[in-house]
Structure 1
Amino acid sequence: MRIWELFQMAMSTIRSNPLRTILTMLGVIIGVASVITLVSIGQGTSKAIEKQYEGLGTNLLTVNLMGNGRATQLNYDEFMTLEGTAGISSIAPTMTQNSSIKFDRTTESYNVIGTNDRYLDLQKGKMASGRFLAQADLDFRNHVAVIGSDVATKFFGKEDPIDEEINVKGYMYTIIGVLQTKGSNTSGTSLDSSVLVPLPTMSRDFKLGNIRTAYVEASSGDLVSRAQLAVEAYLFQKFKSTTGYNILNSSELISARQTASSTLTNQLVAVAAISLLVGGIGIMNIMLVTVSERTREIGIRKSIGAKRRNILLQFLVEATLISGMGGLIGLLVGVALSLAWPYINPSQETSLSLNVGFYAFLFSALVGVIFGLYPANKASKLKPIDALRYD
């Protein structure tokens, strides 16, 4: 029997029970659509991470101090003594705390970042208006602030906020500049929704201790390793230990975040793939019911000369076709969901992969072959005399 004839017979059977066929396909549809959608979200997240860091280059180090007690802490001046060391061009220590910001009758919580005049260049940010922090602001502990674009929009709308005063933790700060829209920095803090103030001023007003995070810029991408060794040597000299701190460069941060994203995506895809297996079990169940319903038909076909392989192929093609059609529908649904997801959740990018879609479709067809093999084999082994007696 030709494959085309088997295909026509399978299509005829499927059309005779459309609702049952659709319900049988449902597990495969959900599985394939879930795999494609989750992978596209995972790949979109990885690309978003790359975009987040691409403007920073590969010569930025992030130093985090995690120890408790004076023995594993540094103040601003101690950090800045590293600046000018061979391989290091500039340093921006930071303090960050979420605080209520007030202007007029509006109150909102934003991250307040205490830093120095090097921070903007290290984060590759740009000013939309006004100026950034200057060394004099740090020396005289001026109550001045540079606000992100989201903060400016929230409090002032389209009006110019320069020289206006905002209340930060009970202290009045004069706005001297507004940042251009930038997005998240290496710590994951959005500069757009932040208020930047001189670090010594913040330390005094917020009654904060020593610094926990500092950004160190190497003189060039080739000198990152040398700069990292210099920072490690300095910290070891200060703390007499290699614990209580970690140093990450941009490449390591990208790799760490992408690894975490990939691991989570793989776990979700594995869960979604279970739907395909459940769908395969559903196909096997329906095919067994189909064999039972068509026992007399099998007996008649065998009695007029149909061979065992003809019966086997007939039911195997039918199971594969059901699974393949479910996979194709799932592929279309997955692509549609991947394209629509950024509109549903604007903060989440997606990136479609044709290879993943192709492999998901092939896997769905393979599920039909695997789970359709037993019912097809059972049908092919029926003896004509027993099949004709079946009522």
Structure 2
Amino acid sequence: MNKLVVGNLVHRPLRSVISAFAVAIEVIMILSITAILMGKLNGFKDRTNGIGMDMFVRPSTTNNFIGMSPAGASIKVADIIAKIPHVAVAAPVNIQITSSFDNIYGIDFQSYDALLPFVFQKGGPFQGPYDIIVDDYIGAGKNIGDSIKVIDHTFRICGIVNHGKGGRKFIPIDTMGKITFTEGKATAFYLRTETPPKYEDQVKQDILATPGMQSYNVVKTQEYLNAMTPDTLTPAFNIGLEVVIGIAVVIGFLVIFQSMYTAVMERTREIGILKSMGASRTYIVAIVLSETGLLAACGIILGIGASFALSGVLNAKFPTLDFVINIPYVWKAIVIAFAGALLGAFYPALKAARKDPIDALSYE
């Protein structure tokens, strides 16, 4: 049977290649959208972990995407939090997201650096109100003293640091307040506690017990990141993924269906000969499904290889894109593509098995 299956596919190389490419496109579509969406989410988690905070405090009006809500808390709240027992550092941040979804962090350098020190590749801290610190991705090919435009204002690069400290661009928090009309305001306060997580619960209770702080949200960083999943973060993720998977399955199904149906019609006499020699319906179905399985396997391998190659190219060319292939979704893509291909071949296989050998042998 194996020789017959391979021979049938080799005898029609163009159709076999197109069918395999259809399955490959199906796999690439699934892995690409998950690479973008999951990559962004995992990249956000990694950069948040790199800040060095154990907890953060934010106004109750701030949503889960810190920076998507306006800065609504007074910077002076940081001084109040810093006096809470077992709080080692309280750093105010004013985060703004631009129209291009670029996170700009307005920070008090001394307190933010105290959470977990910046690792400078070039330059150093702010020297003036319009200085900016950028990470090594944004600063690639740039030098200290170069100009960069942020929020319609020109800043001088004073430092280039290792990536992974929350944002990719940092400016003085006072300057952020002036240019965004949020002077003296902060989006949130990042905390580092003594010997974490030993005092986190106590610190949370003490903050909420402080007069004027009852309406604030006090969140442990690890709990916050654990809750950042596609299901809890945004229903749009799953909806988008289901739409792409649906489109991909339809493409794979139709191409395999057309390919196998045409192959069955072209091999009517061959099927008649096999049945006249005693081949059972099960044997005929097994041949068609085996051909489909081999095509699907080739397409899946091609699709996975192309997806990883695409990931490598995009990460090299656009390092801030966070295009990362998610391994669990690789297995899901394999199952979905394989199942879709077999489903597309099922009817042609049954049609082949139902052919009458007398009619098939007389077919021209």
Normalised to the residue count of structure 2, the TM-score between the two structures is: 0.74
Q: How big is the shift at 1:238?
A: 1.9
1:50-65 superposed matches below 5 A = 50-57=45-52, 59-64=54-59
1:182-331 superposed matches below 5 A = 182-183=162-163, 185-186=165-166, 189-190=167-168, 193-196=169-172, 208=183, 210-221=185-196, 222-234=198-210, 237-238=211-212, 242=215, 245-259=216-230, 266-274=238-246, 275-331=248-304
**Retained in 1: the 8 A contact 2:46–2:164?**
no
Could you give the per-residue CA deviations for residues 117-173 of structure 1, whole angstroms, max 9, x where no partner exists? 42321353356656679xxxxxxxxx767641479x99xx75679xxxxxx999xx9
Q: How big is the shift at 1:379?
A: 1.2
Partner of 1:373: 346
CA, structure 1 residues 309+89, in 2 after alignment: closer, same or farther (shift >3 Å)? closer
- Matched residues in 2 for 1:63 and 1:208: separation? 17
Q: Verify: 1:31 aligned to 2:26, yes or no.
A: yes
- Matched residues in 2 for 1:381 and 1:113: separation? 72
Partner of 1:165: none
Partner of 2:65: none
Question: 2:18 is paired with a residue of what secondary structure?
Answer: helix
Q: How big is the shift at 1:342?
A: 0.4
CA, structure 1 residues 159+358, in 2 after alignment: closer, same or farther (shift >3 Å)? closer
Partner of 2:161: 181
- Segment drifting more, 329-338 vs 119-128: 119-128
Partner of 2:314: 341
State which structure, 1 or 2, has the greater radius of gyration over its C-alpha atoms: 1
Question: 1:89 is paired with a residue of what secondary structure?
Answer: strand
- Matched residues in 1 for 2:342 and 2:221: separation? 47
Could you give the per-residue CA deviations for residues 4-55 of structure 1, whole angstroms, max 9, x where no partner exists? xx22222222222222222233331111122233444455444433431333
Q: How big is the shift at 1:293?
A: 2.1
Partner of 2:115: 122
Q: How big is the shift at 1:196?
A: 1.6
**Retained in 1: the 8 A contact 2:177–2:184?**
no
**Retained in 2: the 8 A contact 1:56–1:122?**
yes
Q: Verify: 1:9 aligned to 2:8, yes or no.
A: no
In structure 1, stretches of 5+ residues that fail to align are 1-5, 68-72, 100-108, 134-142, 162-167
CA, structure 1 residues 267+226, in 2 after alignment: closer, same or farther (shift >3 Å)? same
In structure 2, stretches of 5+ residues that fail to align are 63-71
Q: How big is the shift at 1:302?
A: 2.2
Partner of 2:66: none
Q: Verify: 1:148 aligned to 2:133, yes or no.
A: yes
1:89-168 superposed matches below 5 A = 89-95=88-94, 113=106, 115=108, 117-122=110-115, 124-125=117-118, 147-149=132-134, 158=143
- Matched residues in 1 for 2:12 and 2:183: separation? 72
Could you give the per-residue CA deviations for residues 88-136 of structure 1, whole angstroms, max 9, x where no partner exists? 233233456799xxxxxxxxx9958364742321353356656679xxx
2:16 pairs, out of 21, 38, 49, with 21
Partner of 1:82: 81
CA, structure 1 residues 75+25, in 2 after alignment: closer, same or farther (shift >3 Å)? closer
Q: How big is the shift at 1:330?
A: 1.6
- Matched residues in 2 for 1:280 and 1:98: separation? 41
- Matched residues in 2 for 1:27 and 1:126: separation? 47
Richer in helix (by share): 1
**Retained in 2: the 8 A contact 1:28–1:327?**
yes
Question: 2:191 is paired with a residue of what secondary structure?
Answer: strand
**Amino acid paired to 1:321:** L
**Retained in 2: the 8 A contact 1:29–1:327?**
yes
- Segment drifting more, 378-387 vs 260-269: 260-269
Q: How big is the shift at 1:77?
A: 4.4
CA, structure 1 residues 93+388, in 2 after alignment: closer, same or farther (shift >3 Å)? closer
Could you give the per-residue CA deviations for residues 36-87 of structure 1, whole angstroms, max 9, x where no partner exists? 33444455444433431333345232323649xxxxx764545423322223
Question: 2:212 is paired with a residue of what secondary structure?
Answer: helix
Question: 1:382 is paired with a residue of what secondary structure?
Answer: coil
CA, structure 1 residues 81+324, in 2 after alignment: closer, same or farther (shift >3 Å)? closer
Normalised to the residue count of structure 1, the TM-score between the two structures is: 0.69
CA, structure 1 residues 262+35, in 2 after alignment: closer, same or farther (shift >3 Å)? farther
How high is the sequence identity, in percent, across the aligned residues?
20
**Amino acid paired to 1:148:** I
- Matched residues in 1 for 2:53 and 2:182: separation? 34
